[in-house]
């Protein structure tokens, strides 16, 4: 979740990264020399476990693009990935020390630069890390930036974020980020699949989100999604499902200004609210 808006990462803990390394735009150099043999091994083991889980659970586009990340047995250098990524969709990844504030985050996305945290979790955090680390950011987010439609969606989200910031609407918009880019599901020909990075980088939530009978799964509907709160420390209780990245792109093309106005007066849905504005999907 790299550098998501601090809105959702807000907590009492100080962030782990060293922000003194960062430039004014919050980017920094990937501190490759700082990685230990154990760090590289942690990445290798996470990659191995997670890639084995993907068939039948991850979206086709994600599985197709994953090899573009390159090396699997150590932490990749961002430049290696950028050579391929820039050619594919004119996106680049940039290193950051961790979560960054909204405006610099949106600004990077609007300029087709995706912030990737450069440090990796400790072995004790193998299954769960509180802040997004390089494994979440690279493995979870970067493969779909090779998909042209999804890549354009992320840029437009950044542009929309800058506008939302001016309108005081970041909380509503960030829910869309959460329920699509982080925890989105997609209905493919072969069945339900995950495309959200928070799911794809989690060994527990990947099978849970796609197969468990527990959570509710609703068709993505803009206003319902932007009214739904979310939990950052449990599996999701509600997932929103799209039919295609084109649908996602088209659904979010409108100017949100009047939507924000309308939503301000409306009640929110709890993360697990069973009340649906449309029938729940099987």
Q: Which residues bind ligand PHE (CB under 6 A)?
A: 153, 156-157, 160, 163, 176, 252-256
Residue 17 CA to its chain's centroid (Å): 19
CB of 106 to ligand PHE, least distance (A): 10
- Residue 40 catalytic? no
Say if residues 93 and 25 touch (Cβ distance below 8 Å): no
Selected catalytic residue, list 59, 102, 131, 136: 136
1 interface partner picked from ligand PHE, Fe ion, none, CB below 5 to 8 A per type: Fe ion
Selected catalytic residue, list 201, 202, 205, 209: 201
Asked if residue 192 binds Fe ion (CB under 5 A), the reply is no
Token representation of residue 254: 């409108």
How far CA 278 is from CA of 217, 220, 221, 225, in Å, comes to 11, 10, 9, 12
75 interface partner picked from ligand PHE, Fe ion, none, CB below 5 to 8 A per type: none
- Residue 182 catalytic? yes
Selected catalytic residue, list 92, 182, 205, 209: 182
Selected catalytic residue, list 141, 165, 174, 205: 141
- 253: helix, strand or coil: coil
Token representation of residue 152: 């354009």
- Residue 136 catalytic? yes
CB of 235 to ligand PHE, least distance (A): 24
How far, in Å, CA of 162 to CA of 144, rounded?
22
User: Angle between the 148-167 and 257-264 helix axes, to the nearest 10 degrees?
Assistant: 60
CB of 141 to ligand PHE, least distance (A): 15
Task: Choose between 164 and 194: whose C-beta lies nearer to ligand PHE.
Answer: 164
Task: Choose between 1 and 170: whose C-beta lies nearer to Fe ion.
Answer: 1
Token representation of residue 166: 């001016």
29 interface partner picked from Fe ion, ligand PHE, none, CB below 5 to 8 A per type: none
DSSP H or E segment with residue 163: helix 148-167
Token representation of residue 83: 């050579």
- Per DSSP (E only), the strands in the chain are 92-96, 113-117, 185-188, 191-194, 216-219, 238-242
Task: Choose between 203 and 221: whose C-beta lies nearer to ligand PHE.
Answer: 221
Asked if residue 1 binds Fe ion (CB under 5 A), the reply is yes
160 interface partner picked from Fe ion, ligand PHE, none, CB below 5 to 8 A per type: ligand PHE
197 interface partner picked from ligand PHE, Fe ion, none, CB below 5 to 8 A per type: Fe ion
- Residue 165 catalytic? no
Dihedral sign, Cα of residue 10, residue 15, residue 20, residue 21 = negative
216-219 vs 238-242, strand pairing mode: parallel
Q: Contacting Fe ion (CB under 5 A), which of 96, 197, 200, 226? A: 197
Task: Give the residue numbers annotated as catalytic, written as ranges.
Answer: 136, 141, 182, 201
Contacts to Fe ion by CB under 5 A: 1, 197
């Amino acid at each position: 979740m790299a550098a998501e808006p601090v809105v959702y990462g807000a907590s009492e803990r100080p962030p782990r990264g060293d922000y003194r390394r960062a430039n004014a735009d919050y980017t920094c150099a990937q501190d490759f020399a700082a990685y230990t043999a154990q760090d590289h091994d942690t990445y290798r083991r996470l990659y191995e476990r997670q890639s084995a889980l993907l068939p039948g659970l991850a979206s086709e586009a994600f599985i197709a693009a994953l090899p573009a990340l390159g090396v699997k047995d150590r932490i990749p250098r961002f430049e290696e990935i950028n050579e391929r990524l820039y050619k594919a969709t004119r996106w680049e990844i940039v290193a950051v020390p961790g979560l960054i504030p909204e405006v610099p985050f949106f600004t990077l996305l609007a300029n087709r630069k995706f912030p990737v945290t450069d440090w990796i979790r400790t072995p004790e955090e193998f299954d769960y890390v509180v802040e997004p680390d390089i494994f979440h950011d690279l493995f979870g987010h970067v493969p779909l930036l090779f998909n042209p439609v999804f890549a354009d969606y992320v840029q437009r989200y950044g542009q929309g974020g800058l506008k939302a910031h001016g309108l005081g609407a970041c909380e509503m918009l960030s829910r869309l980020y959460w329920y699509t880019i982080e925890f989105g599901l997609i209905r493919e020909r072969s069945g339900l699949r995950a495309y959200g990075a928070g799911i794809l980088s989690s060994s527990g939530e990947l099978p849970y989100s796609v197969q468990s009978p527990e959570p509710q799964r609703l068709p993505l509907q803009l206003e319902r999604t932007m009214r739904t709160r979310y939990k950052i420390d449990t599996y999701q209780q509600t997932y929103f499902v799209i039919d295609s990245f084109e649908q996602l792109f088209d659904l979010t093309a409108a100017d949100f200004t009047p939507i924000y106005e309308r939503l301000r007066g409306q009640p929110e849905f709890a993360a697990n609210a069973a009340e649906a504005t449309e029938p729940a999907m099987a």
